[in-house]
Amino acid sequence: MKYLEEIKKLLDEEHSKTQKNKILEYVGDDPEKMKALMSFFLDRKWHWRYNQRAAWPVGYLGRKFPKLINPYFDSMISMMDNPSHDAVLRNILRILEDIVIPESYEGMIYDRCFLFLNDPNFSIAIRVFSMTVLFKISEKYPDLQEELEASIRMHMPYGSAGFKSRGRKYLKAINKMKKDRTN
């Protein structure tokens, strides 16, 4: 595959913000380079360390150039069930925070994110990104907000500062939407 060796060299160098930025600059909005990067992100033939190191740049590229992610959407959603590394799941969720989720995936993604939010064994980042995805879907389907509100409230006392901050933000927004619906 074209660009595979170049991407591999970049991933081998180090795992840092500087290196992530080098990869972002190298790949840009080039679909062929993205294909090579996505191979390292999604394909289990690579050592999990490659999946992890590709995750950070993929998360940022997916937010900046959502069309680059479209060909890999099914694979990414499937990967949510059994990621090779937390970084893979975290960056899939990072992308889902910012893109328009196709309607046919909303239920499946909502269910998975609800499980992640309510499982304290997942990292704070995974749980907080899941909260954002859940809120985003619940804006379209307000009947889901009661369940989301209850879950956020249940975990707030034990959450990190980041969890509590995001939770307060969404509880406030949910309450405002409730008031708007009753007026």
Q: What is the pLDDT of residues 44-55, one digit of tens each?
A: 777 788 999 999
The three-class DSSP label of residue 46 is: coil
Per-residue pLDDT of the chain (183 residues; tens, 9 = 90+): 789 999 999 999 989 999 999 999 999 999 999 999 999 999 877 778 899 999 999 999 999 999 999 999 999 999 999 888 899 999 999 999 999 999 999 999 999 999 999 999 999 999 999 999 999 999 999 999 999 999 999 999 999 999 999 999 999 999 999 999 887
C-alpha span between 69 and 81 (Å, rounded): 18
- DSSP states of 6-17 as a string? HHHHHHHH--SH
Tell me the domain boundaries of the chain: 1-99, 118-183
Helices (H), ranges, 71-160 = 73-79, 86-98, 103-118, 124-140, 145-155
Q: Are 39 and 79 in contact (CB under 8 A)?
A: no
Amino acid in position 72: Y
The three-class DSSP label of residue 119 is: coil
Q: Which residues of 46-78 are buried (b: 16+ CB within 10 A; e: fewer)?
A: beeebbbbbbbbbbbbbbebeebbeebbeebbe
